[in-house]
Amino acid sequence: MRNIYILGAAGSIGLQTLEVLKENQGSYHLVGISLGSNQEINHQILKDFSVEIVCLRDESSLISYQKSFPEITFVFGDKGLIELASYDKPGVVVNALSGSSGLRPTVAAIKNHKDIALANKETLVMAGDIVKKLIKEYHVNLYPIDSEHSALWQALNGEEIKYVSKLVITASGGSFRDLDRNQLKHVTFKDALKHPNWTMGSKITIDSATMMNKGLEVIEAHHLFDLDYDQIETILHQESIVHGLIYFSDGMIKASLSASDMKIPIAYALFHPDRKNYQRSLDLTNLSFKPMDFQRFPLLKLAYEVGRQGGIMPTVMNAANEAAVKLFLLEEISFLDIETIVFETVRSYVQIEHPSLEEIIETDHNVQQMIRKTYGKR
């Protein structure tokens, strides 16, 4: 029996985590969850699962939830996420929050001796060095959920990192992979939300279309596997079947393949070395691989630069992107404005070589606020 917490239980990864749990009754105890703003989904989750503590998005519906579910302890907001992550039962915290909101609760969970199953890549992008140090200090484990990183983690099982010459992360190319840059001028957020291979939350779907998602994943891989950026390559692979490849010093290459189903990495993060039954037939006869096109996807190139710079710069890039994506989803800026805003913001910021956690959180807040004020229309 494993104690499990889910931050962001009502989102895409959160709901798929709940499905995995439903299929594995008896092997876990779901202690606590955080919910989102969709009340119908929230209520359904609370009917299906009995939990001890729940964090609501805000205070507005607190009393009505307390009346409907008197046996549950309710907390709310950013403070509530910390209380949930700090709850006094050990266990593993699935961090399925989107964006920079994932960082503080991860830190709180680690400091309360909980393992982390991490979908929220922004945590490592912003504060990879700090989080890794805390993981060691508190003797907890960090398991990746992102499909590429889970694939690489599984391919590295039983291997020594000193024999890895490089790793490769694949990219499907996102919703606009068949459009040239000229055609990107007039695309809408509705077009952008149609990912060819995955059904995901809106932020990561837009990030996939701009290729920023792959940039965030490159930085995530650098922290997870302790490799230099020169050893992390990205290639285009539109079928999303091969998720990652490891090249070893003796010329051997290991590839990790699976169907595009996030339940596979989620179940592996929660129950490894056990494997669950998600077998599917896969067509391996027509797989395509192309070199990454950094002219077409300049944000990926920027992410490599920013990753190499380290310090506060990944936080600045991540915050600029997060705020710009929000404005795009509100139809206040165009798709290509996302790139312009991220580039302008990164170029205008002064480096802090070794930022503290507080400096990281403050910078994230300041950058996002500045972008809302400068580029937002409402």
Ligand X SMILES: NC(=O)c1ccc[n+]([C@@H]2O[C@H](COP(=O)([O-])OP(=O)(O)OC[C@H]3O[C@@H](n4cnc5c(N)ncnc54)[C@H](OP(=O)(O)O)[C@@H]3O)[C@@H](O)[C@H]2O)c1
Please report, as ranges, the residues that interact with ligand X according to CB under 6 A: 8, 10-14, 34, 36-38, 57, 96-99, 101, 119-122, 146, 198, 200-201, 204, 262
Q: Which two tokens stand for residue 47?
A: 């009917």
Per the listing, tokens 């929220």 go with 120
Query: Cβ contacts of residue 337 below 8 Å, gap of 6+?
Result: 324, 327, 328, 375
Minimum Å distance from CB 65 to ligand X? 15
Q: Would you say 280 or 347 has its CB closer to ligand X?
A: 280
Minimum Å distance from CB 276 to ligand X? 17
Minimum Å distance from CB 250 to ligand X? 31
Q: Cα dihedral sign for 323, 324, 330, 332?
A: positive
Minimum Å distance from CB 121 to ligand X? 5
Q: Would you say 160 or 262 has its CB closer to ligand X?
A: 262
Strand order in 92-95's β-sheet? 73-76, 53-56, 28-34, 2-7, 92-95, 115-118, 142-144
Q: Would you say 202 or 231 has its CB closer to ligand X?
A: 202
Do strands 53-56 and 242-248 pair parallel, antiparallel, or not at all (unpaired)?
Answer: unpaired
Rounded to whole angstroms, the Cα distance separating 296 from 299 reads: 9
273 prior amide bond cis, ω within 30: yes
Asked if 175 and 209 count as a contact pair (C-beta separation under 8 A), the reply is: yes
Counting every residue written for the chain, the total comes to 378
Minimum Å distance from CB 257 to ligand X? 17
Q: Would you say 119 or 241 has its CB closer to ligand X?
A: 119
Q: Would you say 3 or 208 has its CB closer to ligand X?
A: 208
Cα 172 to the center of its chain, rounded Å: 16
SS3 47: helix
Q: Would you say 197 or 248 has its CB closer to ligand X?
A: 197
Residue nearest to ligand X (CB): 11
Minimum Å distance from CB 217 to ligand X? 9
Q: Would you say 272 or 352 has its CB closer to ligand X?
A: 272
Q: Residues 142, 78, 129, CA angle at the centre, nearest 5°?
A: 35
**CA 293 vs CA 119, 175, 190, 199, 200: distances in Å:** 26, 15, 24, 24, 24
Q: Would you say 332 or 344 has its CB closer to ligand X?
A: 332
Minimum Å distance from CB 353 to ligand X? 26
Minimum Å distance from CB 357 to ligand X? 17
Rounded to whole angstroms, the Cα distance separating 356 from 28 reads: 35
Q: Would you say 10 or 302 has its CB closer to ligand X?
A: 10
Rounded to whole angstroms, the Cα distance separating 10 from 56 reads: 11
| Cα-only R_g, the chain | 20
Minimum Å distance from CB 35 to ligand X? 7
What DSSP assignment string belongs to 122-149?
A: HHHHHHHHHHHHHHHHTT--EEE-SHHH
